[in-house]
Copies of this chain bind each other. A is one copy, B any other.
Amino acid sequence: MRVYNFSAGPSALPEEVLKRAQDEMVEYPGAGMSVMEMSHRSKEYEAIINDAERLVRELMNVPDNYKVLFLQGGASSQFAMIPMNLCKNGKADYVITGQWAKKAASEAEKYLKVNRVASSADKTFSYIPKLDKSAFDPEADYFHITYNNTIYGTHYTELPDTGNVPLVADISSCVLAEKIDVSKFGLLYAGAQKNLGPAGVTLVIVRDDLIREDLPESVPTMFKYKIHADNGSMYNTPPTYAIYILKLVLEWVKEKGGVEELQKINEKKAAALYDYLDNSEMFKGTVVPEDRSLMNIPFVTGNDELDAEFVKKSKAAGLMNLKGHRTVGGMRASIYNAMTVEGVNALIDFMKKFESENK
């Protein structure tokens, strides 16, 4: 029996997608072979990767002056690729809203001067700091945010107005979960293993004018956006199977009515859980109400032993991976697109039961 999987990533995938992949595993229709066995230069595979790109463009309403790239190396590789490719004036603004934002800034610091515009480290990243425009550098090569913070469960409700400075965002844990206006960004990136598909493929959406040719000799060829953009993500063999699963997920999103419909469901799921947390006498959310994530919901009882007991018992009840990140403690429910309303309701029911049994 399939469990409810609240993992922060890699995380649950739609069961329909897995069943389709299962059906097509040994023989992709009409090909006589698995997608894993296809030459990436074959007509069959080109149709798959082209469909994936087309669906990203359609579902995210990507303007024509942006490239859609499927890369390897995760968001962690983007932490270096972004400064290496976008560095011109030699400086960039970063907002520090959690561990990933910190890592992104530290890596960027190897290549340019990082201006840490604001941070919420003082309160374990439990809020999104108010941004003071006077701290923004108008000469910065870009302005980096982590749109949704997977570990801490925070989320921007308002985008910083960076003027002519390109806004760059890590959207790993909110891509396809809510409407994102691509035209407001210079570059967006997302590791696939939350809302998009399996680990091993990274989506990058980058505006044409930021794809430069004149990069320092020291930049590895595989770290140049230009190389991947010029070769349709096929400069070398792409992670073909991961892109195929991504395509199936995108088809599933479209079938469900697109991002707009999923956002409604996600808002309903999150509201149900937050509502329970706000009314519970045992559990409470760790994030200020105005910055709460739709996708990652950390909560605590305030008692470490009780937290541990909850995690143990929830696991036995088929509610998996609810243990919180070590820097926050307690619990965290990641409720990405593939988490059903039923799954969230099962969690709430279990929490109610646990609360009444452990008063």
Residues of A with Cβ closer than 8 Å to B?
Answer: 1-3, 5, 7-13, 15, 18-19, 21-22, 25-27, 31-34, 36-40, 42, 72-77, 79-81, 84, 107, 110-111, 191, 193, 197-201, 217-218, 220-223, 235-242, 245, 318, 320-321
Chain B residues in 8 Å Cβ range of A72: 72-74, 77, 200, 239
Report yes or no: A22 in contact with B26, Cβ–Cβ below 8 A. yes
CA distance A40 to B111 in the complex (A): 30
Question: Measured between C-beta atoms, what is the minimum distance from A7 to chain B in Å?
Answer: 4
Interface of A, helix, strand, loop or mixed by DSSP: loop
Establish whether residues A37 and B10, one from each chain, have CB atoms under 8 Å apart when the complex forms: yes
User: Which among B80, B240, B320 is the interface contact of A222 at CB below 8 angstroms?
Assistant: B80
Closest B residue to A1 using CB positions: B32
Q: How far is the CA of A73 from the CA of B233 in the complex (A)?
A: 12
Asked if residues B222 and A77 are in contact (CB atoms below 8 Å), the reply is yes
B321 touches A42 (CB 8 A): yes
- In this complex, the member of A25, A84, A199 whose beta carbon has the largest number of chain B beta carbons within 10 angstroms is A199
The answer to whether B33 and A26 have CB atoms under 8 Å apart is: no
The one of B32, B81, B221 that contacts A3, using a Cβ cutoff of 8 Å? B32
**Residues of chain B lying within 8 A (CB to CB) of residue A221:** 76, 79-80, 107
Cα separation A31 to B217 with both chains bound (whole Å): 47
User: Given A76-B221, A217-B110 in contact, is the A10-B240 Cβ separation under 8 Å?
Assistant: yes
Q: Which of A5, A25, A77, A200 has its CB near the most chain B CB atoms (within 10 A)?
A: A200
A9, B39: Cβ atoms under 8 Å? yes
**Distance in Å: Cβ of A342 to nearest Cβ of chain B:** 15
Inter-subunit contact A220/B74 (CB<8 Å)? no
B33 touches A80 (CB 8 A): no
Report Cα–Cα, A7/B34, bound state, in Å. Answer: 12
Chain B residues in 8 Å Cβ range of A40: 10, 199
Which residues of B are found within 8 Å of A242, using beta-carbon distances? 200, 239, 241-242
